Chain A
């Protein structure tokens, strides 16, 4: 019985409170608690702390978590739209519009929610600003700011075995990132919706010059970073297979990467 003489630590007490003890251990702990006032008091104290935390947390958060019929309806609408979507690849414009519609509906709903919560809570000033940033951000690189810039490399180097590693070597300093946000007029914006990306990927000889950098939205509805990655892989393959030359690939991705995608994948929408 010596085992039960040892006092329980906080971890065991919490596991007991939360019902997370193994059944064998639970029996021992219960037996000790029954015998030990000290541990029982300590357990009650923990429960009290949990209670205080839960109350404080509700007090802080519940006012902001209002029931929202609007957002439920929006989800429903989004789901229905998604489900009713014709699958055929040819119906591209519809798809593109639809996604934009969803995005727009979301922004509108957020703006509405913003107003509602603003009135109710009067706390969340920052949010309206957020929605605006989200809606206004550039979806495509601006040619005047980001014409694209390359290192002096040839196709052999681009296709070399260790070219993958080169991207890591082309780190973008934080100061340059800030500069990119600034030139895109996003200095006041909180940049969490964007990453600074290469217009011409380093795998195609792109450099980390500011002329090759732009704020790419994480969440563009259709033509997003993932789609651009596909294009980059495709172009590199084509260069390395000798189907196009490196300069053409660099030019096309820099001039209009979406157009380039359509051209090289023979499609009007992302595959």
Chain B
């Protein structure tokens, strides 16, 4: 170990600190997370803490809304979603602090969020807030421009479209929402552990269904 200043030495302790994140993720080897036990302080490169911190904050600013929207779209509540997003960025800090590769950070961030979100609602059998939500959406989420009748029609149509999305196979929903957040096919394939071809089949199948629903 070459660094002994308090600040820098303190930095690598993050791994232990965010153990509540790890406790959820450690057993999932596909995460690419290092094991706490396998960690060696000697292996930690010396990137200044503050640099990593500001990088993480910058990425938070860039991706927070999109990440939150994604985890909400796959069924999390806002509170749970915000929490997942926090955990993602604490994990990201740890990841960067250990000098892990920075290529495809966007994919990494979404992948961790996706897995945390699924893990979090693993034993959640039902989503009781759904029906209520749809009604509220139909009633409240409308374009302010057109007249009230058109507003209602447009809101209902959108609600119906989203209901169709929720009726899609879960994997197809994940693909669709990730794509909607701007991820490329390659990234989606990595996050969901499927092939490129499967991503494109999933997306075109979903769109065909949405199209039919929108017409009918």
A interface residues with partner B (beta carbon < 8 Å): 9-11, 13-15, 18, 20, 45-46, 49-50, 52-57, 59-65, 67-68, 71-72, 74-76, 78-87, 95, 98-99, 102-103, 106, 109-110, 113-114, 117, 121-128, 130-131, 190-193, 195, 218-222, 224-227, 230, 270-271
Contacts and interface: CB of A to CB of B under 8 A. Distances in A.
B36 interface: yes
A134 to B, nearest CB: 8
A38 B173 CA distance: 28
Given A72-B61, A75-B60, A82 B77 contact: no
A75 to B, nearest CB: 6
B145 to A, nearest CB: 13
A18 B141 contact: no
B192 interface: no
B70 to A, nearest CB: 9
A99 B16 CA distance: 9
A114 B78 CA distance: 8
Contacts of A195: 123
A190 B121 CA distance: 9
Contact of B121 (A74, A192, A226): A192
Interface residues of B, number: 82
Contacts of B13: 82, 85-87, 95
Contacts of B211: 45-46, 49
Contact of B77 (A15, A80, A127, A271): A127
B162 to A, nearest CB: 5
A127 B80 CA distance: 7
Residues of A contacting B: mostly: helix
Nearest to A13: B204
Contacts of A84: 7, 10
Q: Kindly list the 3 A-B residue pairs having the minimum CB-CB distance in the complex, ordered from nearest.
A: A127-B79, A56-B158, A224-B23
Contacts, number: 213
A98 B121 CA distance: 27
Interface string B167-184: 000000000110110001
Interface of B: 6-7, 9-14, 16-24, 26-27, 36-37, 49-50, 53, 56-57, 60-61, 64-65, 68-69, 72-73, 77-80, 82-83, 85-86, 89-90, 93, 119-124, 128-129, 132-133, 136-137, 140-142, 155, 157-159, 161-162, 165, 176-177, 179-180, 184-185, 200-201, 203-204, 207-208, 210-211, 214
B67 to A, nearest CB: 10
A259 B192 CA distance: 40
Nearest to B134: A60
Q: Which residue among A49, A62, A79, A113 has the maximum number of chain B CB atoms within 10 Å of its CB? A: A79
Contacts of A226: 19, 22-23, 26-27, 36
A126 B129 contact: yes
